[in-house]
Structure 1
Amino acid sequence: MIGLIQNEWMKIFKRPGTYVMIAILLIATTIFGVVLKFEQNDTNFEGTKNWEQNLKQENVALQRQMEGSRSPLEKQDFKKQITINSYRIKHHIPPETSYHLWDFVNSAAELIDVAGLFTIIISAGIVASEFTWGTIKLLLIRPIMRVKILLSKYLTILLYAIFLLVILFAYSSAIGAILFGTADHSSIYLNYNNGIVSEQSMFVHMLIYYGLNSINMIMLATMAFMISAVFRNSSLAVGLSIFLMFTGTQLTELLSLKFSWAKYILFANTDLMPYFEGTPLIEGMTLSFSVVVLFAYFLLFHFLAFYVFNKRDVAA
């Protein structure tokens, strides 16, 4: 299995396009950092010795807004901010007064979609290209089970996705330190969950944040992999996956306004962050429910891919 994965990894990095993808990701991160740097230069961050009094006044205003709001989501947001402000006051943790490394790493998480786009492209072609180039016959005449061949390709996709995420995280950290500097004091993230605030290392929080935000990328890459294996068409896999990548969540949100069954749609469950910070997309949804739905889709995609790949006759 390791040998098969190494072989697939070498195939990916023999393509000039792979290095172009990595370069684009690095350039996009650099440009993003420079743009934010100019924006921060135009913003005045003023620290104050009266931050506790300011937070108390802010809580009073937020409490009034919460009482006057009719939206459950807005009330949850107001309650969250009030609770965090109260925690800061009680434990003497002043709010950040400057933009620093971890703020940029958090902002750069938006570029996970770019990494996801490149992962989808690789995923869509990793099986279909074998049929296009006719090299699938050379693979199948070897004394190796088809399941192992297909599994090695999928594991290679996961490794490539992790590789891009590590590059994004490491490079954004370096750019953030260079352009914005590190935090003035020990970086602590105040995590809000079910009305309780807890302190968390910014590094750990960013790892969790990147991990949770990559779920959509992994699921779409898996779907592209399935389409590639079933239809042997990389264009269809890329086109459909990218379309759903940018419209799936929005369409699901619209459907959720009228239909309760929208919670069973894949894109209603790919964002798990609201279960840790905020409110789920559809009322009544739970973390365990979303995990089960994601697992069901994951199994479905793989069942279709492996079943069709094993049954397909490529002798002709």
Structure 2
Amino acid sequence: MNNMVALVKNECLKMIKKKRFYVILLILLALIPMFTYAQMRVSQNTQKQFGTQDWRAVQRQQIIDWQKTLSSPRTPEEWKLQLRARTQIANYYLEKNVDPSSPNAVTFTREFVKNAVGLFIPLIIMVISADIVSSEHSTGTIKLLLTRPIRRWKILMSKLITLVLFTSLTILSTGVLCYLVSGIVFGFGGWDLPVFVGITANGSDVDFSHVRAVGQWLFIIMEFGLVWFSALVVALMSLMLSVLVRSTAAGMGIMLAVLISGTILSNMVSSWETAKYLFMVNLDLTRYLTGANPPIKGMDLSFSLSVLALWAIASLIVSFTVFTRKDIFN
């Protein structure tokens, strides 16, 4: 136990000395104010366009615009399915007199994380995790590390624990910075606003039979739990690549290509059913909370969680098997 604690402390120090976590914080501090300003400008332009601050009038006009798009023969059928579902959900919020996008720090944080979980958050997780093993090869410290009287699986376990800690810290930092920065502009309220969960969309059909309203504070906890799980799967995949590929640049390049291709596939694979078993197509777990259509018909939250869990377990098995048996010294 003492050996493991010492190993984890050592790995944490290595992670801090790389300064990549600080770089991620700087990226967040640069991007979040930009998105906050953009959101503020959108709100101002919307108010100017409709001449009112009443969210109901804006929502009704949005529904009218969607209906016009639906009536256009140029609109692809796949988009029509999504627009019909969004129209039904928007009408539901109108009937319940709940503003789904009330301007406040909590809503901004919720929306930012929802839009970032598909690509941005996986990319920043990849930055801190892709070289956790491969960097030991490039610096030559792997041989020194393995000459110590410590079993290999313990060394990799310490790296895994460190990775989980920094993944969690990254997600937490994203949420805190979003809330603090956007709160300066939109105010720090919004914790008790209701959000409807349990909406199920399947093509253009939306099921409201299991809908219930929860406070936005609870919704944030649910959302960040799902985002953390997705980020952890990306971290474990990056760990596996770091074990398999000695070159940090090659490992990061492979992971980058996989994540970007996943974003493209999520928008194009509606007719490719077997693509639903790819981990990158399942990363956006938050879509299931608010009733957004899944990338492929038949997918739901339990399915995506199961697929991601299987990929995570497989990554761990490959990582520990290869690391404990690989000939490091040649």
Partner of 2:29: 26
Pick aligned residue for 2:274 from 243, 258, 261: 261
Partner of 1:223: 237
CA distance in 2, matches of 1:117, 1:185: 29
CA distance in 2, matches of 1:14, 1:60: 52
CA distance in 1, matches of 2:242, 2:59: 56
Cα 1:228/1:187, change in 2 over 3 Å: same
1:254 is paired with a residue of what secondary structure? coil
Pick aligned residue for 1:154 from 160, 163, 166: 160
Matches within 5 A, 1:1-316: 1-44=4-47, 46-48=52-54, 71-86=80-95, 88=96, 93-95=97-99, 99-109=103-113, 110-111=115-116, 113-183=119-189, 186-194=192-200, 195=208, 196-257=210-271, 259-276=272-289, 277-316=291-330
Cα 1:9/1:255, change in 2 over 3 Å: same
Cα 1:103/1:46, change in 2 over 3 Å: farther
Deviation at 1:133, TM superposition (A): 1.3
1:84-135 deviation line (CA, Å, top 9, x unaligned): 333x1xxxx4537852212321243245544432321221111011111111
CA distance in 2, matches of 1:184, 1:245: 33
CA distance in 2, matches of 1:57, 1:115: 33
Cα 1:58/1:261, change in 2 over 3 Å: same
CA distance in 2, matches of 1:206, 1:61: 30
1:125 is paired with a residue of what secondary structure? coil
State whether residues 59 and 82 of structure 1, in contact with CA within 8 Å, keep that contact through their aligned partners in structure 2: no
Cα 1:80/1:62, change in 2 over 3 Å: farther
1:199 is paired with a residue of what secondary structure? strand
Unaligned runs of 5+ in 1: none
CA distance in 2, matches of 1:282, 1:100: 33
CA distance in 1, matches of 2:123, 2:89: 33
Letter in 2 for 1:80: I
TM-score (norm 2): 0.79
Deviation at 1:160, TM superposition (A): 0.9
Superposed CA RMSD in Å reads: 3.3
State whether residues 59 and 85 of structure 1, in contact with CA within 8 Å, keep that contact through their aligned partners in structure 2: no
State whether residues 62 and 78 of structure 1, in contact with CA within 8 Å, keep that contact through their aligned partners in structure 2: no
Deviation at 1:64, TM superposition (A): 8.2
State whether residues 26 and 171 of structure 1, in contact with CA within 8 Å, keep that contact through their aligned partners in structure 2: yes
Deviation at 1:185, TM superposition (A): 9.1
- Between the aligned residues of both structures, percent identity stands at 26
Cα 1:61/1:313, change in 2 over 3 Å: closer
Cα 1:79/1:192, change in 2 over 3 Å: farther
Q: How many residues align?
A: 307
CA distance in 2, matches of 1:64, 1:22: 42
State whether residues 33 and 182 of structure 2, in contact with CA within 8 Å, keep that contact through their aligned partners in structure 1: no
Unaligned runs of 5+ in 2: 201-207
State whether residues 252 and 265 of structure 1, in contact with CA within 8 Å, keep that contact through their aligned partners in structure 2: no
Cα 1:265/1:85, change in 2 over 3 Å: same
Letter in 2 for 1:104: F
Cα 1:290/1:85, change in 2 over 3 Å: same
Letter in 2 for 1:261: T
CA distance in 2, matches of 1:266, 1:191: 24
Letter in 2 for 1:211: G
Q: Which segment is superposed worse, 189-198 or 93-102?
A: 93-102
